[in-house]
Amino acid sequence: MSEWSQSAMNARLVRYADLIPCRTAFLDTKTPGSTEKENFTIIGKGVSESPEQVVHIAEPHGFNIGAARQPLGCVNSQHSHETAEVFIIHSGKWRLIFGPNREDGSLEIGPGDVASVPTRMFRGFEKVDEGTGFLFTVLGEDDPGQVTWAPAVFEAAADFGLKLAKGGRLIDTSSGSAQLKDVEMEGVLTESQLAELQTPPAEKLAECVVLAGDIVANPTSPLAAVGVEEAGIIVPCATRDGFAAGPIKGWWPQDFNLRQLTLQTGAYVPTHARAEAEVLMVQEGTIEISWADGGLIMGAGDTLTVPIGLSHAFRNTASVPAKVFVVRGTVDPALPVFDSKPV
C-alpha cells in the first residue's frame, strides 16, 4: 500500500466546512468589539494563547497557516509579530489599522487581495462591510513566537478579568477560580520598548500589498507550458523556477513564496513532484487533485498540504475558472519534476 493512501491524504485536507473555531484565542477575547471573532489554526502551532484552540494539522512546514472569520465591525486588537504575517482575503472587506493606538493610518483590502505586514510593528484588523468575512493568514517559521500586544489591549482585557502569563498563556480570572500565585505575568511594554516597534512610512507599507486586480501571471513559470497561469505575489528573491523577486519582496524575513494559480476550465497540470512544502488554499472555483492511489476535489475555502515528493496532478473540471493560492516553503523554490515532459 502506498504511504499516501486516500485516507492519509484526506487527513491533510481541511475543508472550510470542517474548520473548528476558537472564540477564546487571545487576550482581547472579551473586549467589546472583539467578542464575535473566530480564530483558526490550520497548519502549525500558530500563536493562539488558549488551550481551547484546535490545531488541525500540527506537522511543521516552515510556516504556519491560520485564519479568522468575523462579522461587520468585529476587531482583532493592535498587536505585533516577530515573524511575517500575511493576510489573504477570502471574502468580505477588511481594514488593516497601524500603530499601537491605531494612529498610524490604515489600509482597506478585499477578496483576492494580499497584504504582508512587516515584523515588529503594530497592526490590527477589522471587518468593514455587511455579513461575515473570512481571511487566511500565513505566519513565518515553525515557531512564530507569541503575540506582542499594545498597552491599551492589556488595559481593556483587565477590565474583563483576562491576564496573560509569561510565554503567552491566557488566564481568565473573572470566575474567581484562577490561581495566580507563583505565576509570572507578561508585562506591558515600556515607552522605550514601544519606540522600537515603529510603523514604517506609508510609501513603504504600499510595497507590502498586492490587490487582486494587479496580480499578473509570469509567462516564464514552468506551469505556463501546460496552460496554467502562475503569478508571484511574495517572492523574496529570484528563484530557480523562473520568478523574479517581487512584487512583495519585503525588507523583513519572509522565508516562503506565495503564488496564485489560475486554471481555466479544463486546464491541467500533469503529474509532478515538488522538493518543498506546498499548501493550497482555494480562493474560488474547484480543482481536482489526483495521485497514484486516489484523488480529491477541493472547493472554495479548502486547504490541502501536499507531501514533499508526492507525484500529483491538478485539473479544473468545472465550467468556471479556479483560483488557488499556494504557499511554497522556501525562498527559492525548485522547478517541479514532471513524470514526463509536458507537451
Name the phi and psi angles at 22, rounded to 5.
-120, 125
Closest by Cα among 223, 193, 229, 217 to 322 = 229
Closest by Cα among 339, 331, 286 to 312 = 339
pTM, to two decimals = 0.96
Question: Which parts of the chain have pLDDT scores under 50?
Answer: 1, 343
Which pLDDT value is given to residue 180? 76
Q: Is the peptide bond before 151 cis (omega within 30 degrees of 0)?
A: no
Query: What percentage of the chain's residues is helix, strand, coil (to nearest 5)?
Result: 10, 35, 55
The three grid cell numbers given for residue 136, joined into one nine-digit string: 487566511
The three grid cell numbers given for residue 248, joined into one nine-digit string: 512583495
Please tell me what DSSP assigns to residue 334: P
DSSP string, 143-174: ----PEEPHHHHHHHHTTTEEEETTTEEEE-T
Q: How far is residue 104's CA from residue 56's CA, in Å, rounded to a whole number? A: 35
Which pLDDT value is given to residue 1? 39
Q: How far is residue 97's CA from residue 77's CA, in Å, rounded to a whole number? A: 9
Q: How far is residue 218 CA from its own chain's centroid?
A: 23
Name the phi and psi angles at 44, rounded to 5.
90, 175
In this structure, is the dihedral angle defined by the CA atoms of residues 321, 214, 224 and 281, taken in order, positive or negative?
negative
Which pLDDT value is given to residue 176? 74
Residue 331: CB atoms within 10 Å? 18
- On whether the CB atoms of residues 76 and 28 are closer than 8 A, the answer is yes
Please tell me what DSSP assigns to residue 225: G
